[in-house]
Amino acid sequence: MSQPDTGSYRYELIRDFLKLPNGERFGLVSRVAADAQDRIYVFQRKDPPVVVFDRDGTYLGAWGSGAVTDPHGLKIVEDIVYTTDRSDSVARSFTLDGKPLLELGERGVHSDTGCTGAPWLAQRAAGPFNHPTEMLPHPNGDIYVTDGYRNARVHRFTGDGRLVTSWGTPGHGPGEFHLPHSIAIDPQGTLYVADRSNKRIQIFTPDGAFLGQWSGMGGPNDITRGQDGNFYIAEQEDGEKPAYVCVRDARGNVLARLESRHVHGVGVDSRGDIYAGLTVDRSVDKFVRIE
């Protein structure tokens, strides 16, 4: 099934691309990411939480049973897997085969933000963590965590886990958040934070100074920077508009917008092929770049 012409960015959609062994089914798929060898890692809400495939969709194995209560964020940088365990309020990193490396936060201990559930707008900002959403390393060696479902902050840690600073308050203005849900970082160190319920990407310096924002999107569930320098964004349905996988260049210009089933996580491999992690349909679609 081919997608409509999007200029120089055209894709072929292959639904339900990744195949588990006979008799097995995915849980809710929260995130998808590729490592340096284009192996694909699926973060699902069942044990084992991490399932690994090659880029052709062949099942390679799985790991992490008992290690993650509520899988949410997963990114891979320099072959380290960075995850967040949402309801347990911890962020953890692993080797590619599942050996734990670093844990931030105290399992089951939540900071006091006054937020107890939907619509996920904290009454006040607080320290780490209250249902964090994404963990990602920075070129400067520090680690950044978006703390979103019941907080409204970005936290910066040293590489060995010491808190450096936090920023963000609940709200809708510059530097304010209503569910910071994902994060991407470019080689210059600029941060791109998916401020989901405000339907925008906010852009910051490493110290948290506001630089600008991208709007004109459904609520962004995930933002991933590809090796090509483009950003791949999983957009929620917005009114009568469907969910999309959107490709933007480094300035935020839309290069392609691909209609998708409800997509929560988006990964991209070295060839520019896109993997859409689906929550409702509990599967992974692949958009193969053909031009």
Read off the CATH number of the domain in which 79 is found. 2.120.10.30
Which structure tokens are listed for 11? 């894709």
60: left (phi over 0), alpha (psi -120 to 50) or beta: alpha
In a domain, 5, yes or no: no
Q: What pLDDT, on a 0 to 100 scale, did the predictor assign at position 132?
A: 98
Question: In whole angstroms, what separates CA 250 from the centre of its chain?
Answer: 18
Largest CA distance in the chain: 50
Q: What pLDDT, on a 0 to 100 scale, did the predictor assign at position 6?
A: 53
Residues of the chain with pLDDT under 70: 1-7
Contact 151, 97 (CB under 8 A): no
In a domain, 104, yes or no: yes
In a domain, 266, yes or no: no
Structural domain including 169 reads: 30-231
Q: What pLDDT, on a 0 to 100 scale, did the predictor assign at position 8?
A: 81
Q: What pLDDT, on a 0 to 100 scale, did the predictor assign at position 86?
A: 98
How far CA 268 is from CA of 15, 66, 164, 226, 240, in Å, comes to 16, 27, 31, 6, 27
How many separate domains does the chain show?
Answer: 1
Q: What pLDDT, on a 0 to 100 scale, did the predictor assign at position 2?
A: 39
Q: What is the SS3 assignment for 197? A: helix
In a domain, 124, yes or no: yes
Taken in order 205, 208, 213, 217, the sign of the CA dihedral is positive
Q: What pLDDT, on a 0 to 100 scale, did the predictor assign at position 185?
A: 98
The DSSP code for 241 is B
In a domain, 21, yes or no: no
